[in-house]
A and B are shown apart, each in its own frame.
Chain A
Amino acid sequence: MSSHRTPGIAAGRLPDQTLAQNFADYPPPLDAHEAAVAADRCYFCHDAPCITACPTEIDIPMFIRQISTGTADAAAMTIWDQNILGGMCARVCPVEQLCEGACVREAAEGKPVEIGRLQRYATDHAMDRGQPYTRAAPTGHRIAVVGAGPSGLAAAHRLARHGHDVTIFDARPKAGGLNEYGIATYKTTQDFARREVEWLLDIGGITVEAGKALGRDISLDGLRADFDAVFLGMGLAGVNALRASGEAHEGVMDAVDFIAALRQAPDRAQVAIGRDVVVIGGGMTAVDAAVQARLLGAENVTMVYRRSRDRMSASQHEQDHATTTGVKIITNAMPKAVHGNGQVSEIEFEYTAEGPDGLRGTGETFSLRADQVFKAIGQMIEGVPEGLRLEGGKIVVDDNRRTSLPGVWAGGDCATGGEDLTVTAVAHGRDAAEDIHRMLAARAG
């Protein structure tokens, strides 16, 4: 059996039991008593700041009050009315930057109400009771949704509720998008992403066509011809390049691919990881990759970010989680060259400084041993159909999430508006669905 110190890239660095512990539910769910105590801390604020801070504007004080009065199922409905993927968002939202960051008890005591964990408590309980929504009378309208990620699923569910028939096309073999492929394993244990998708689809009226990629198997023109409306929520398929020499060395890979492979692995002991792992980037993807590399047994994991710590898009909470797990974070350094003999063995960095004309290298360099290099320096849109206006690498949409093409809406990471977060994507999908519904109703009327 291999260990922390086994050279190169190796599987099974940790015993099964340790791996199971490392990838257990984090943070663990609240039990009924913990939920009651946590819920009692909510002040039921007027026009609460936590609601404003939530991209889906969940009525948080109301659902917490419903938990505290013993009606978690009603609480879940309050959540799902605004955010049908409230279960996943409870697990993956950077709550310290959103609802919990805005909580008045954060201001009062530096300890917010545990909104995320309470949301999980409510949705977990109510999900066991099955899909609570029913469809309106069939309208006969057919809508195509491209991408079975958070925005597409949210759009599809809302459209199905309104009685429309929805077909979702997704390039991957499984629905769920980043929920299924892009989120750290310990954040969504027990196959939660799949279970949530199945629960969501139970509303009926939604067909998922997996393995169908836009531009390869289907075209936007074809969808526009065959459907009454099209929603694009295919996310960002491309990964930015390092812009450092030697990027083609074996062992240099996209962090999202590592995360996806780990998520889909039937046995984590079979997932190979380097002894020395370097992750480049400062976002949540970088943290997810770095933390999980450690959890798999990598001896040295270093996250390197080109700007200062406070510019990292990973939240303080995420950064702390990384360092607690044993990840070393180096800031103000950019990759210069990847070295190795076919297989990467070392990566060279140059320190950076912020100047009036942007970031520049200082000339001072250092090298890190690396068996694996994970790139997590942002993703980009790929294969955008003709005719869609783009801005800053995103499909431009208006307030109603309409694109520049009639009959085409867009949301999630591929479109403009808000941060690239699951919860933002859900809001986009929901709002686009409402606009599509309004448009179709007006046309029918």
Chain B
Amino acid sequence: MANLATDFIGIRSPNPFWLASAPPTDKEYNVRRAYEAGWGGVVWKTLGTDPPVVNVNGPRYGVMYAGDRQVMALNNIELITDRPLDVNLREIKAVKRDWPDRALVISLMVPCDEESWKEILHRIEDTGADGVELNFGCPHGMAERGMGSAVGQVPEYIEMVTRWVKQHSRMPCIVKLTPNVTDIRPAAEAARRGGADAVSLINTVNSITGVNLDTFSPEPSIDGKGTHGGLCGPAVKPIALHMVAEIARNPATVGLPISGIGGVTTWRDAAEFLALGAGNVQACTVAMTYGFKVVQELISGLSQYLDEKGIDSVGDLVGRATPNVTDWQYLNLNYVTKAVIDQDLCIKCGRCYAACEDTSHQAISMSADRVFEVMDDECVACNICVNVCPVEDCITMVELEKGTVDPRTGLVVGDYANWTTHPNNPSAREAAE
């Protein structure tokens, strides 16, 4: 069986599944139960300075559902830990003592001055924790006080604080990044310049999950008012994957270890993060939806996958997809595919037809007896029919072989060629002249 053990910046854990800094890791009771359930590590919920913050006493989570009330995303307006620092430190020490083989990283967020950071790093020194994670990500509540994403949105601050941490602590240091920026790369570059051992991302995405149409209050509603909160869960995974990939392939940050976070719900999600370059993953919403036990599916699924692929360890999976992330201009314009509908699998719902006919390229025909067929001379291979089909693998995209004629364009499928040399590209024309 594949070896799921990981060594992430010197922090060992029996599997790559850590619980992210969040409500599930707020106290000893939860963390012990998480370890018992099989989680490889936890990032303890963010510690701050005393006196602790206070939370709202109304709802602190909002939700976004798919059909059948499937949780697609949670939004929270909870702050960092609202328990006294010494209580947290005592518990961390006790848990780590009993679970030496599990990773335990402490998330930190204190005001943006060197003394505050020096002080908290000193306080956590003898907990036995494996490392620290700098919370530069929370987009709500703390950001307005000059912490969290207020730091993460300014690369200079990231670099400065990271440098302080590395200067005042020998612990491995992970910098947690906010996705609430237009480009994630400068933040990661700043973390590296400051001496970070790794980055973790994404923290939550700024959001309002809904509006109550009776009271006209944003959700979650606190006495008729609402505020933006941080979104997490399956819905944010695509944003997270993109940002992880950007850091993994950015020449300025290549090789910088990444802890992947954002909507990890199944082993498959985790494997995707790993393939794009994350050295491990952190999860939260899946546990908040289903409880800690769900980690057993993550473990068994990843094991089976690695075995089936003949991959010996998690480390061997990391980054396998990274080289295949490229810029649009380098995509092969001579890669021609056509949608093919498997008539045996087709249940004749016609969603492919509606999507193609109304919103795409009118490339699917429908007969009186509901047989749906792709017209190759119209199909641009947009893939929307595949996306909306309720039956997996009923519609697939099949590549036209090199040398064949694309019935839509009348052109012979040729060798690799991209936009940079395409005659319609003004820059390519200039270069040729």
Closest to A46 in B: B350
With the chains together, A47 CA to B348 CA distance in Å? 10
Cβ-defined contact, A49 with B351, below 8 A: no
Nearest chain A CB to B34 CB, angstrom units: 31
Q: Is the CB of A45 within 8 A of B68?
A: no
A36 to B66, CA, bound (A): 12
- The answer to whether A104 touches B349, judged by C-beta atoms less than 8 angstroms apart, is yes
Q: Interface readout for A13-55 with B: 1 if CB under 8 Å, 0 if not?
A: 0000000000000000000000011001001111111000000
Contact in complex: B349, A40 (CB < 8 Å)? no
Asked if A43 meets B68 with Cβ closer than 8 Å, knowing A49-B370, A108-B390, A108-B391, the reply is no
Contact with A46, one of B67, B68, B69, B354 (Cβ below 8 angstroms): B354
CB distance B349 to A45 under 8 Å? yes
Q: Does residue B39 face the partner (Cβ distance < 8 Å to A)?
A: no
Is B18 engaged at the interface, CB distance under 8 Å to the other chain?
A: no
Q: Is the pair A105, B347 in contact by a Cβ cutoff of 8 Å?
A: yes
Residues of B345-366 contacting chain A, CB below 8 A: 347-351, 353-354, 366
Chain B nearest Cβ from A110, distance in angstroms: 11
Instruction: Tell me the count of chain A residues lying within 8 A, CB to CB, of chain B.
Output: 15
Contacts of A49 in B (CB 8 A): 348, 370
Q: Does A1 sit within 8 A of B, measured CB to CB?
A: no
A108 touches B347 (CB 8 A): yes
Whether the Cβ atoms of B370 and A43 lie closer than 8 Å is no
Q: Which bucket holds chain B's interface residue count? A: 10 to 19
Do A37 and B68 touch (CB < 8 A)?
yes
Is A43 within 8 A of B348, CB to CB?
no
A107 contacts B by Cβ under 8 Å: yes
Cβ proximity bits A45-79 to B, threshold 8 Å, 1 near / 0 not: 11111000000000000000000100000000000
Q: Which residues of A lie under 8 Å from residue B354 when comparing CB positions? A: 46
Q: Of the candidates A36, A37, A46, A68, which one forms a contact with B349 in the assembled complex, judged by CB atoms under 8 Å apart?
A: A46
Residue of A nearest to B213 (CB): A70
Complex Cα–Cα for A107 and B68 (A):
21
CB distance from A429 to the nearest CB of B (A): 28
> Which residue of the partner chain, among B69, B350, B391, contacts A45 with CB atoms under 8 Å?
B350
**Assembly CA distance A108 to B67 (angstroms):** 18
Query: How would residues 353 to 395 of chain A score, 1 for a CB under 8 Å from any chain B CB and 0 otherwise?
Result: 0000000000000000000000000000000000000000000
Scan residues 160-210 of chain A and give those whose CB is less than 8 A from a CB of chain B: none
Q: When A37-B68, A40-B68, A108-B391 are in contact, do A46 and B351 touch as well, CB less than 8 Å?
A: yes
With both beta carbons as reference points, the residue of chain A lying nearest to B358 in the complex is identified as A46
A99 → chain B, closest Cβ, in Å? 14
Contact partners of B69 in chain A: CB under 8 A: 36
Contact A104 to B348, CB < 8 A, known contacts A46-B353, A46-B354? yes
Instruction: Report B291 CB to chain A, min CB distance, Å.
Output: 22
Please, which residues of chain A bring their CB within 8 A of the CB of B370? 47, 49
B352: nearest chain-A partner, CB-CB: A46
* Chain A residues whose C-beta falls within 8 Å of the C-beta of B351 in the assembled complex: 43-46
Q: How far is the CB of A406 from chain B (nearest CB, A)?
A: 35
- A107 x B347 contact (CB < 8 A): yes
Contacting residues, chain B, for A104 (C-beta < 8 A) = 347-349
- In the complex formed, the residue of A with least CB distance to B391 is A108
**Nearest opposing residue in chain A for B354, CB measure:** A46
Establish whether residues A107 and B390, one from each chain, have CB atoms under 8 Å apart when the complex forms: no
B-chain residues with CB within 8 Å of residue A47 when the two chains form the complex: 350, 366, 370
| CA gap between A104 and B349 in the complex, in Å | 6
Q: Mark out the residues of chain B between 306 and 328 whose CB falls within 8 Å of any chain A CB in the assembled complex.
A: none
B residues near A68, Cβ cutoff 8 Å? 67
CB-CB under 8 A from B347, the residues of chain A are: 104-105, 107-108
Q: How far is the CB of A75 from chain B (nearest CB, A)?
A: 17
* B391 neighbours in A (Cβ, 8 Å): 108
Chain A residues with Cβ under 8 A from B350's Cβ? 45-48
- Known interface pairs A49-B370, A104-B349, A107-B347. Does A43 touch B67 (Cβ–Cβ under 8 Å)? no
A48–B347 CA distance with the chains assembled, in angstroms: 11
Interface-central residue, A40, A43, A46, by most chain B CB under 10 Å = A46
Bound-state CA distance A43–B354 (Å) is: 12
Q: Across the interface, name the chain B residue whose C-beta is closest to A106.
A: B347
Q: B-side interface residues toward A, CB under 8 Å? A: 67-69, 347-351, 353-354, 366, 370, 390-391
Known: A40-B68, A107-B347. 15 other contacts (CB 8 A): A36-B68, A37-B68, A43-B390, A44-B351, A45-B348, A45-B349, A45-B350, A46-B351, A46-B353, A46-B366, A47-B350, A48-B350, A49-B348, A104-B349, A108-B347
The 9 closest A-B CB pairs, nearest first, are A46-B350, A46-B354, A40-B67, A104-B347, A45-B349, A104-B349, A108-B347, A107-B347, A40-B68
> Would you mind naming 10 contact pairs between A and B with Cβ atoms under 8 Å apart?
A43-B351, A44-B351, A45-B351, A46-B366, A47-B350, A48-B349, A68-B67, A105-B347, A108-B347, A108-B390
